[in-house]
Structure 1
Amino acid sequence: MNRRRILAVGATVALAGCVSYPGRDDPPSSEDLVRDAIETRRRMTNLQARRTMTVETPDETVERTERIARKPPAKQRIEVRESTDPDVPVGAVTVTNRATTWEYNPSTAIVDKQYHPNKVDTDRTRLVLESLLEESRLGYEGSEMIDGREAHVIETKPPTDDIGPAISLVVGETTFVVPLRATGDPDAMDVTRTVWIDDEYRYPIKERNTVSIDGETRHELAVTYTDLAIDVGLEPGTFTYDPPNDATVVTDGRKPLGVFESRAAAADVAPYDLPEPAIPASYTLDRVTVVEKAERFGTTTTLWYNDPNVVARELYVAVREVQRFSPDVLEEIEFDGHTAYRRDGRIQSVFWTCDELNYEVSSLTDDAPLLEIASSIGCP
């Protein structure tokens, strides 16, 4: 689907949990409100809402309203109900699950089916909230009623040295890029993000991002959730999609040989024996993907594990026929007499080779015992 960046797909608005402070005389601090929102997000199971997104510039105002359903961090369904954006018309649908994304544009009758069975899913909304807490200047601006609910208003500003000629605003599950090349002197630019945090549930229900030059607003993006339903369960099949009969389906990415619910089922397809790693008790097996890549890259099997009680707390074990890591740029380590290589950064990893197979254990969190897991696999 051809999309203008001015209206991004996601927004850092959601609702979950339930934390109430009746009889409180003093409002909570902005920092405590954001901390509460982070914790609520970590425990969220699913949400449904009606979302309205409005973008205003000196030349135009564009708005659309969608019905959304989400199961963080990976699954979502967005159906456009009203829209003045010709590139995202009424009837447009986006459905994403762990392995596939479907995007339907009714104006072209084209469905773009994207395969991504081994995509690592971060919880971008939580990362945005953590960034606000750690890097932005927060100011409490009182409270307002949003969709009949009291919400605390927090104005945030980025550190001064973060202001540049182009600014990426992370809005929910995607990135909103503000085009600033023609807006004048970057030093005169003022960027603010205002977040409304629901008093009862302690989670954002509205957000507004504003870019001003010399006091004049050049871009403003506002997102509001109404009709919220949180952790009440979703209809079966919410994250599957059947294209219309008259639509043309165009595919991107490599279709997997299979996405399996058990290691035993994947073992019937994989061209080599699969390991049986010792995983911490808080994790459960989510799926096993088997992907046959180009001949020179062979077949990759990935066992995905997550913590069902914490959003985006997951790790995976990958087995490859061809080495995909570069020892020259990694830290050499050793476990149980095996030479291995460690990668630090957004993804923590341990790589090693055994006979003709290559192994990887990776996690998005620092608390995963990667070396212990690698040791349980060893050289099978």
Structure 2
Amino acid sequence: MNRRRVLTAGVAVALAGCVSYPSDGDDDPPSSEELVRDAIGTRRRMSELAARRTMTVETSDGTVERTERIARRPPAKQRIEVVGSTDPDAPVGSVSVTNRETTWEYNPETATVDKQYHPNKVDTDRTQRVLENLLADYRLGYEGPAVVDGREVHRIETRPPIEDIGPTIDLVVGDTTYVVPLRVTGDLEELDVSRTVWIDDEYRYPIRERNAITDGDETLHSLTVTYEDLEIDAGLEPGTFTYEPPADATVVTDGPEPEGVFESRTAAEAIVPYELPEPDVPEPYDLDRVTVVEKAERFGTTTRLWYNDPNIVARELFVTVREVQRFSTDALEEIEIDGRTAYYRDGRLQSIFWECGALNYEVSSLLDDDPLRDIAASIGCP
């Protein structure tokens, strides 16, 4: 049930082939770009997703298939239950449940549950990022209408830039990364790499994806993922993203168990040894939760205030208070905020760090357009 799996063994390949496009005319279907753009919009607005998902991997060594019931509340919550499988890594009865703070993974063959605490994990919407990458960097070609699971869909052929071809696939149909290297012989330049995405006409959302590597008429490797019975924002059962291990299962824990996850600053302040800041965050950000983790004595208590945009999936920023400095000034850009020295990090996370007496502060966001300097200035040195 790991979200990153090795399915076969081998090497990356180069791109060959071309893409056909529809001719202009009054009866032209939606453009590929429009369809992907609509899918991004659907993902940004959706609250919940439920489906039956089937994944089929075909290689020269044979075929492996797995069918799962999935439920998701992006970006952080998901439940996956394996209901059919020839995959030895995911036997029938396997369960994976993730929420903001914890992941449970149950293996029925060993009767064990891996319980991982991750109260301060930064959640990104991987599916949205993959769709945005398709729109920005891939060559898209409309291949016509089709039917998948009784639903009208649009078939889009995508071609990546040469430098993007590699053994790792971030799936559009599901928040999963697959490592799919391939054992091949001969001239790699002659191989063809294709990625086809089917977008449902009603939801304007991906419902099937197929990645294939072929050598002439021979398919060397293919990965096909299909949603059936797809429902978006239809309502999920209460408790979908909680998990109670079977009575006979052995539970193994990992990661820092939080002292608490609170809905307000006031509730969190009751157990932390310092005052929490009240930052000025831009609208429509709201305080979503406050996590408190007490680590070894030399690291002290870490508190993180999480702010979410309720209108957009995976748009969040956070403010962290630590008793110990956890950043290296040598690796960061020195800046000044209201006459106070701070340090800026530009990467997957945009962050500002600074020290104030016995405490250290951090403001971070996944988006480079959030006003981190203004938020940091509003906190200052309490």
CA–CA separation in structure 1 for the residues paired with 2:251 and 2:344: 41
Tell me by how many angstroms 1:4 deviates: 4.7
Aligned to 1:199: 201
Where do 5+ consecutive residues of structure 1 fail to align? 8-23
CA–CA separation in structure 2 for the residues paired with 1:322 and 1:186: 52
Tell me by how many angstroms 1:118 deviates: 0.5
Equivalent position to 1:233, from 235, 238, 242: 235
Tell me by how many angstroms 1:184 deviates: 4.8
Please tell me whether the aligned partners of residues 5 and 178 of structure 2 are also in contact (alpha carbons under 8 angstroms): no
Aligned to 2:169: 169
CA RMSD of aligned residues (A): 1.7
Please tell me whether the aligned partners of residues 5 and 177 of structure 2 are also in contact (alpha carbons under 8 angstroms): no
CA–CA separation in structure 1 for the residues paired with 2:125 and 2:223: 21
Tell me by how many angstroms 1:344 deviates: 1.3
1:1-380 map, 5 Å: 4-6=5-7, 25-163=27-165, 166-171=166-171, 172-180=174-182, 182-213=184-215, 216-380=218-382
Aligned to 1:11: none
User: Please, what TM-score do these two structures have when normalized by structure 2?
Assistant: 0.91
CA–CA separation in structure 1 for the residues paired with 2:185 and 2:106: 34
| SS class of match (1:270) | coil
CA–CA separation in structure 1 for the residues paired with 2:152 and 2:253: 45
Tell me by how many angstroms 1:142 deviates: 0.5
Tell me by how many angstroms 1:55 deviates: 0.8
Tell me by how many angstroms 1:137 deviates: 1.2
Runs of 4+ in 1 over 6 A off after TM superposition: none
2:339 is aligned with what amino acid? G
Q: Which moved further from structure 2: 217-226 or 93-102?
A: 217-226
Measured against aligned partners, the alpha-carbon deviations of 1:275-309 in whole angstroms (never above 9, x if no partner) come to 11112220111111111223322221000111111
Tell me by how many angstroms 1:232 deviates: 1.8
CA–CA separation in structure 1 for the residues paired with 2:283 and 2:114: 38
Identity %: 73
Where do 5+ consecutive residues of structure 2 fail to align? 9-25
1:326 is aligned with what amino acid? S
Please tell me whether the aligned partners of residues 168 and 181 of structure 2 are also in contact (alpha carbons under 8 angstroms): no
Q: How many residues in Structure 1 have an aligned counterpart in Structure 2? A: 362
1:193 is aligned with what amino acid? R
User: Please, what TM-score do these two structures have when normalized by structure 1?
Assistant: 0.91
Pick closer, same or farther for the CA change 1:110–1:25 going to 2, 3 Å. same
Measured against aligned partners, the alpha-carbon deviations of 1:289-330 in whole angstroms (never above 9, x if no partner) come to 111223322221000111111001000000111111111121
Pick closer, same or farther for the CA change 1:298–1:182 going to 2, 3 Å. farther
Tell me by how many angstroms 1:189 deviates: 3.5
Tell me by how many angstroms 1:190 deviates: 2.5
Please tell me whether the aligned partners of residues 183 and 213 of structure 1 are also in contact (alpha carbons under 8 angstroms): no
Pick closer, same or farther for the CA change 1:6–1:371 going to 2, 3 Å. same
Tell me by how many angstroms 1:366 deviates: 2.1
CA–CA separation in structure 2 for the residues paired with 1:213 and 1:294: 55
Measured against aligned partners, the alpha-carbon deviations of 1:191-242 in whole angstroms (never above 9, x if no partner) come to 2110001112211111111123465322111111111121122111111000
| SS class of match (2:243) | coil
